[in-house]
Amino acid sequence: MTRISTGSPFEAQIGYSRAVVSDGWVFVSGTTGYDYATMEMPEAVEDQCRNALNTIARALAEAGAGVKDVVRVRYILPDAALWPRCWPVTSAVFDEIRPAATMIVAGLQEPEMLIEIEVTARLPR
């Protein structure tokens, strides 16, 4: 098993890895819109969505996979009304891949967090 970190302080404080690679699968933890280099959170949900997907792409690359290998994605938002604003961003990444997807409305850890994204990918053979 391989564990991947972004260096986010949350990973150490809470006790989790950004991603775990096991038996040909890559499980990427729920990822919010922080820019983990600066720990800044954009205000717009679209920008948070873009940041989260970029962080996920970097974790997948470190695992030896890419967004093209994603088979499952879960989107979690505290407000369903924000979801349509993310569609252009998610479509730009997943339009040709079309993974199984779910959108859930739930409270997130911090009030500035407007989206959290979790994916599962299969390592390429």
* Domain chopping of the chain, boundaries: 2-122
pLDDT at 12 (0 to 100): 85
| This prediction's pTM | 0.94
CATH number, domain 2-122: 3.30.1330.40
Residue ranges, the chain, pLDDT below 50 = none
Q: What is the CA radius of gyration of the chain?
A: 14
Which residues sit opposite 72 in a β-bridge? 100, 120
62-89 pLDDT, tens digit per residue, is: 999 999 999 999 999 999 999 999 999 9
